[in-house]
Amino acid sequence: MLNTQFFNQDLPARPVGKYAHIVMLRVTEGYAVFQTDGELNRARIAMSERNPAPMTRITLFKRKQTTPERLNGRELLRHYGVLPEGCVYNEASCKRCPDCITYGFAVTKSKGDEIGGSEKSKVFSDTAYSLTDYSHSHELFTGNSPYEDGTMSGGEDNTTSTKLFSQDHVKPGTIFPSVITTRDLTTQLFVYVVNNVLRTTRYGATTTRGGTVRNHIVAIVLSDGEIFSNLAFTQRLYDALPMDSYGTDPVPLGEAFSAAQSIIPALLAQDSVRDQQVLMGDDLNTFVGQVSGMDENEIASLLREAAGQTEAYFGRHIAKQTRNSR
């Protein structure tokens, strides 16, 4: 089971080096679009640790990972009446709810608001890279914009629509190895973050029409520092799998998951951190099952406890600092 004694009872004012990492495989289950400036984001980087030859990988930028998870968490807080009415994402932070304190905020002092300031995010992420090459992981689609009756001809003069467009999509079954790092959270806030990861299934652009992604947690690592990067994880996993045998087919999730479990101990051994616990296998399945299986009373209780902790943190540190600066 997860070592809950590792986590803080109260949120500390300064970092105390309690890092909890969620190591996972993000897998597309539909045609997703991860883009900036109209095309899929890509990076030309080394194929693997053993093979330094460059290859092009699709990239999933960090904000495209954490923003959907954060918004999903805010939706849950609002559903259970824990999110303050005036807390609006990217507009007006309440500076005290589980979302603001866990994922951070930046607020300038404004008229009618005596408390400005900022709070660094306690959830760290970085760009994730597709396990497979761009040429195997994308597909270009051409679409159109029909009239209301569903045909390409319409309007007062019955003209034919020329509204055609092309869009590059990430193929289903594309794997993005990823690590989310949290620092100095309480047990309740860490479970809140894990729950957001498990519940979030839509990422990238056009999420109402696609972008389905499933997050498969491979391990949870409790340590006194940050562990391996997404890129190192991806390149080592590439080495651990018989990539040539798959050709242009998607890498089977089961094989990727087993290979990821096998390489994590070696990756951790290379990091200059001390591991308090590495949760994998049956223990991990039990923990993930408990988080995903919480009923309404359990999730409501968890969120209320988390809100109490962040409210107390606000009173001890954020509001206090503002009063002292006057």
For residue 33, the model assigns a pLDDT of: 87
Give pLDDT, residue 158: 54
Residue 247 tokens read as: 């050709």
pLDDT at 13 over 80: yes
Return the minimum-mean-pLDDT range out of 3-12, 53-62, 92-101, 132-141: 132-141
State which residues form the domain around 98.
4-143+171-325
Residue 209 or residue 11, greater confidence? 11
Tell me the per-residue pLDDT of 107-125, one tens digit each, with 9 for 90 and over: 755 545 555 678 999 999 9
Distances (CA, A) of 319 to 109, 210, 253, 304, 316: 13, 42, 47, 20, 7
Whether residue 226 lies inside any domain: the answer is: yes
Contacts of residue 10, defined as CB under 8 A and 6 or more positions apart, other chains included, come to 186, 309, 312, 313
Query: What Å distances lie between residue 160 and 36, 146, 149, 167, CA to CA?
Result: 31, 9, 13, 21
Name the percent of the chain lying above pLDDT 90: 75
Statement: the pTM of the whole predicted model exceeds 0.95: no
Residues contacting residue 241 through CB under 8 Å, at least 6 positions apart: 131, 251, 255, 256, 259
pLDDT digits (tens, 9 = 90+) for 261-315: 999 999 999 998 998 999 999 999 999 999 999 999 999 999 999 999 999 999 9
Residue linked to tokens 């899929």: 40
Give the pLDDT confidence score for residue 211 in this predicted structure: 79
List of residues 6+ apart from 148 with CB closer than 8 A: 154
157 domain residue, yes or no: no
- Residue 234: pLDDT above 70? yes
Per DSSP, the residues of 86-139 read T-BTTTB--SSSHHHHHH-EEE---TT----EEE--SEE---EE-SS-HHHHEE
Cβ–Cβ under 8 Å, residues 230 and 24: no
Structure-model confidence comparison of residues 58 and 206, the more confident one:
58
Mean pLDDT to the nearest integer, 238-259: 97
Position 159 scores a pLDDT of 56
Q: Note whether residue 294 is domain-resident.
A: yes
Asked if the structure places residue 162 within a domain, the reply is no
pLDDT at 314 (0 to 100) = 95
In the predicted model, what is the mean pLDDT of residues 163-168?
Answer: 63
Would you state the pLDDT for residue 115? 55
CA distances from 83 to 50, 93, 192 (A): 48, 11, 14
- Helix (H) / strand (E) element for 292: namely helix 281-292
The answer for residues whose C-beta is within 8 angstroms of residue 119's C-beta and 6 or more apart is 95, 100, 101, 104, 105, 106, 318
For residues 240 and 142, the model is more confident at 240
Band the pLDDT of 91: cuts 50, 70, 90. confident
Mean pLDDT, the chain, whole residue set: 89
In a domain, 29, yes or no: yes
Q: Is the pLDDT of residue 195 over 70?
A: yes
Evaluate whether residue 180 is within a structural domain.
yes
Query: Which single residue is written with the structure tokens 């890092």?
Result: 19
Is the pLDDT higher at 99 or at 318?
A: 99
Domain count, the chain: 1
Answer whether residue 153 is part of any domain. Answer: no
Strand partners, 26: 176, 215
Q: Which helix (H) or strand (E) holds 169?
A: strand 164-170
Burial 42-52 (b: 16+ CB within 10 A, else e): beebebbeeee
Q: How many residues does the chain have?
A: 326
Asked if residues 82 and 303 have their Cβ atoms less than 8 Å apart, the reply is yes
Q: Which pLDDT score, from 0 to 100, does residue 207 have?
A: 64
Tokens found for residue 287: 């923990």
Q: Does residue 194 carry a pLDDT above 50? A: yes
Range in 4-8, 104-108, 155-159, 199-203 with the lowest mean pLDDT: 155-159
Residue 193 lies in a domain: yes
pLDDT higher than threshold 80 for residue 253: yes
With bands split at pLDDT 50, 70 and 90, how would you rate the model's confidence at 84? very high
Q: Give dist(CA 248, CA 226) in Å, integer.
A: 34
